[in-house]
Chains A and B, each alone.
Chain A
C-alpha cells in the first residue's frame, strides 16, 4: 500500500459522532454564551492607556518644580525668586532722602525708578554728616569723560570741589569714580544736576547727626577751660604751669577737632560713579515654559537607562527560565504521548 492509498484510507475512516454526544454538545452550546472577545490588547488600547499616562506625567513634570532642588537649594530658590528689574531707564530729578534727627546714621537706598524728588531733609541748625552715592550709566567712554568734566564743573559752580577722581575712558567701555564735596546747602541741587548726566542705576543717601557729639566736645572744652582757670588762680609753680600747659594743649586739640568736624560737616560728600557697563541681565535658571518638560524627558531618559541596565539581565534570566520551563514541559509532554 502506497502512502497515498494509506492517507486516503485514513481520511475515509472518520469516526461517527454518537447521538448522545451530539445532544450533549448541543445542550452545552444552548447555554448562554459569552461574546467572543475580538482582541484583548491592541495598539489602540495601548495608546488609549499610554497617551493619558504620558500626558499626566508630562503635565506633572511641567507643573511641579523640578525634582529635588526645591528644598533649600540656592540655585533653585534663586530661580523662583522674582528677579529685580534693572534699574531705571528714566531719569530722576532727585533721589529720595531719609531724614535723620538722631545720632545714628540712617541710610536710604532708593530705587531709582519711580523715586520722587524730595528736598534733602537736613537741619541747617544742626551739625550733620551727609554722604550721597550716585551710580549712573552712560552711553560710552566718551560720555564718561564728558560726564566727569560736567560733574566737576557742577560741583565747582555750587561752591564745592572734587576731592578724588578715578577715571578710565580709554577703551570702549569706561568708568569714573568721583568723590565730590559740595556745601550741604547745595547738595540737593548737586544731586539734581548730577543725576541728569546719565541713567540712574543706584543711589544712596546717608545722613548722620553729629550735633550731640559736637556739643559733648564743647562741654568738655568748657570743663577744661574752667579747670585751667582754676589752676591759673593758684600760686604759679612749675607744677601748676605744667598742668596749665597740658590743659591748654588738650583744649586746643579738642577745639581743632571740633572745628574740623563742623567744617567737614558743612560739606556733603557725593560719590559719583559713571559706568558704561550694562547692568547684569537677570539670569533665568531654567524657568522657561519647557524647562520642566526637558527635565521630565531627562528623568525619563535616566529611568530608561536604569531600566535597561537593571531590566536587561532580569529579562534575559526570565527568558532563559521561560525557555527552560517550556523545554521541560515539552519533554514531559512528549514522554507522556510516546507511552500513551
Chain B
C-alpha cells in the first residue's frame, strides 16, 4: 500500500496507470484522454472520501476511472441508440498502443471492453487477482477465468493470423 501525502502526488504518480487503464478499457485514445481528465477532476472532488485503509490510492483512482468510463459507455450507448447509427468503431484507425504488432493490436480490438479491462488490470497494471476482482465486483476465481479466456482469445487470434 503506497504512502500518499497529497492528491497532487497521487495524481502525478498514477497518471500513467490511469491513462493506460482507460486506453485499454475504452479502446480509444482520445476518449481515454478526456476520461482521464474527468477522472482526476472527479477524484479531486471525492478525495476526502478516500480511505487508505481500504485500499491503495492506485486502486482507488482506477475505480474512479472505471466509474467514469462506465458512465461514458452508457452515454455513448444512449447517444448511439438516439441517433440510430450503427456502431461503427473508428477508434482503431490510429494505433492504440505503441510497440504492438498489427496482428496483436487487431486481436485486442476484437476483444470486448470487459476482456480488455481484465487484461489491463491483471497484466498491464499487474493488480493481484483479489484487488482486480474487487474492482470488477466479481470473485477472484471468476476474474482469473475471465483473464484466461481473454488471453486465450488473443492467442487464438494470433494463431489464426499466423
Contacts and interface: CB of A to CB of B under 8 A. Distances in A.
Interface of A: 1, 3, 6-7, 9-18, 20-22, 24-26, 28-31, 33-40, 326, 330, 333-334, 336-340
Given A7-B151, A21-B33, A35-B48, A1 B40 contact: no
Contact of A29 (B8, B74, B113): B8
Interface of B: 4, 6-8, 11-12, 15-16, 19-20, 23, 26-27, 29, 32-33, 36-37, 40-41, 44, 47-53, 70, 73-74, 76-77, 87, 96-101, 104, 112-114, 117, 119, 123-124, 126, 137-138, 151, 154-155, 158
A3 B151 contact: yes
Nearest to A334: B114
Contact of A17 (B16, B50, B98, B112): B16
Chain B interface SS verdict (over half)? helix
A338 B114 contact: yes
A25 B114 contact: no
B155 A337 contact: no
Contacts of A26: 8, 11-12
Contact of A340 (B15, B36, B99, B113): B113
Given A3-B151, A21-B37, 10 more contacts: A9-B99, A9-B101, A13-B97, A13-B99, A15-B97, A21-B33, A22-B15, A33-B8, A330-B137, A334-B114
Contacts of B73: 336-337, 340
7 contacts: A15-B29, A15-B96, A21-B15, A24-B37, A34-B48, A40-B51, A339-B113
Contacts of B114: 334, 337-338, 340
A169 B16 CA distance: 107
Nearest to B22: A15
B49 A14 contact: no
Contacts of B104: 6, 9
Contact of B36 (A9, A16, A25, A35): A25
Contacts of A11: 123-124, 126
Contacts of A6: 104, 151, 154-155, 158
A16 B37 contact: no
Given A16-B98, A29-B40, A340-B113, A21 B19 contact: yes
Nearest to A38: B51
Chain A interface secondary structure, helix, strand, loop or mixed?
Answer: helix
A8 to B, nearest CB: 9
Q: Which 9 pairs from chain A and chain B are nearest by CB?
A: A340-B113, A337-B114, A29-B8, A33-B7, A29-B11, A337-B113, A34-B48, A13-B99, A13-B97
Contact of B8 (A1, A20, A30): A30
B47 A36 contact: yes
Given A336-B73, A340-B113, A29 B44 contact: yes
Contacts of A338: 112-114
A39 B53 contact: yes
Given A21-B36, A37-B50, A330-B137, A339 B112 contact: yes
B44 A31 contact: yes
B44 A33 contact: yes
Contacts of B36: 17, 21, 25
B141 to A, nearest CB: 16
Contacts of A339: 77, 87, 112-113
B155 A14 contact: no
A5 to B, nearest CB: 10
B41 A28 contact: yes
B155 A3 contact: yes
B19 A17 contact: yes
A330 to B, nearest CB: 6
A340 B76 CA distance: 10
A1 B123 contact: no
Contacts of B7: 29, 33, 36
B32 to A, nearest CB: 8
B51 A39 contact: yes
A19 to B, nearest CB: 11
A24 to B, nearest CB: 5
Contacts of A15: 19-20, 23, 29, 32, 96-98
Contacts of B138: 330
